[in-house]
Amino acid sequence: MDFIDVAHNLYHIIVACFLNCISKHIFVQIANLVLQLLWYFLQIIVSAWYCILAVGNLLESYFIAYGVLKKYKSLPIEKLRYLAIVIESEDAYQTSKVVKLLQWLDSVGVKNVCLYDMNGVLKKSKLAIFQEMKNAKSIEEVNEAVIHHVPDHMTLEFVSYVDGKEAVAKAANLIFVENSKRHDIGGERDCQILLEPHLDQALQIVGCKGPEPDLLLVYGPVRSHLGFPAWRIRYTEIVHMGSLNFMRHGSLIKAIYNFTKVHQNYGN
């Protein structure tokens, strides 16, 4: 009897453990299923929210373009003295879209524009752009400082990543040469701390300083200035506009309008 009781108890223990394991496994599966459903639900909510925002922005863009929203009709464009446009190099091959963008800017009164892409595609398309933009001139043709006056034509500047790289190399070489000329009595070079004004002065001397844009519009897949010379955008407002393939006139007007309403405090 004792052996039978022990075996019977052992049987119940094994069955209980087995059922317990099955229960835990089922519970884990149910919990994982609930978490997955919750994750999918959150994804649907976020996707729906972004879709609503996209549709809202699209409708707003059309309303602005067709003059439905009155506040965008009169832009204090004089506040935008110099505009920079960064375009992803793959999109920069679409010269017709670049020209259309420039025509939109010209229609609202933007006169000074800097076009930038990393690989210099826009510089290679310079002649084609000027053929379409009859009223535009290259910045090299303008003797005056373009940011201190409002010309009667559009002034275009073409910049690439190589320009910024060469500018830094020339400025660094100039600073090195100037420091090499300074020796103390013992014949050793004086230690000099390189400050921002030194670099600005060197860039100015080598002719690579360039005007600082008030506003920089980025047309590309990422929210980045894509290597635009950093020393020229210290106080620049940067706005990501999405892909050039989906550029909209209303979105351009809105970006410029929002810039004109920004109050900037410059430090000493």
- Weakest-pLDDT range from 98-102, 169-173, 232-236, 255-259: 169-173
pLDDT of residue 176: 62
Q: For residue range 199-224, what is the model confidence (pLDDT) as tens digits?
A: 655 555 545 556 889 999 999 888 78
Q: Are 30 and 37 in contact (CB under 8 A)?
A: no
Q: Which structure tokens are listed for 107? A: 């229609």
CA atoms of 211 and 214, how far apart (whole Å): 9
Does residue 145 sit in helix, strand or coil? coil
Angle 81-98-220 (CA atoms, 0-180°, nearest 5)? 90
CB 219 within 8 A of CB 83: no
- Give the dihedral sign, CA 136/138/142/146: positive
Predicted confidence (pLDDT) at residue 185 exceeds the cutoff of 50: no
CA 214, 146, 119, 220 torsion-angle sign: positive
| Assigned CATH topology for domain 77-260 | Undecaprenyl pyrophosphate synthetase (3.40.1180)
* CA–CA separation, 233 and 215 (whole Å): 9
Q: Go through 234-247 and write b for each residue having 16 or more CB atoms within 10 A of its CB, e for each that does not.
A: eebbbbbbbebeeb
> pLDDT tier at 104 (50, 70, 90 boundaries)?
very high
How far apart CA 220 and CA 216 sit, in angstroms, is: 13
Confidence check: pLDDT of 160 > 50:
yes
Sequence ranges of the domains in the chain: 1-73, 77-260
Helices (H) and strands (E) in the chain, counts: 8, 6
Candidate from 18-22, 34-38, 57-61, 230-234 with smallest mean pLDDT:
18-22
pLDDT tens profile 55-75: 777 777 777 777 777 788 778
Contact by Cβ (8 Å): 81, 212: no
Other C-beta atoms closer than 10 Å to the C-beta of 203 total 20
Beta strand pairing status for 83-87 and 112-117? parallel
Check residues 75 and 15 and name the one with the higher pLDDT.
Answer: 75
Range name among 42-46, 66-70, 167-171 with the lowest pLDDT average: 167-171
Query: In whole numbers, what is the pLDDT of the chain averaged over residues?
Result: 77
- The verdict on pTM exceeding 0.95 is no
CB 212 within 8 A of CB 72: no
pLDDT attached to residue 265: 60
Binning pLDDT at 50, 70 and 90, where does residue 128 land?
very high
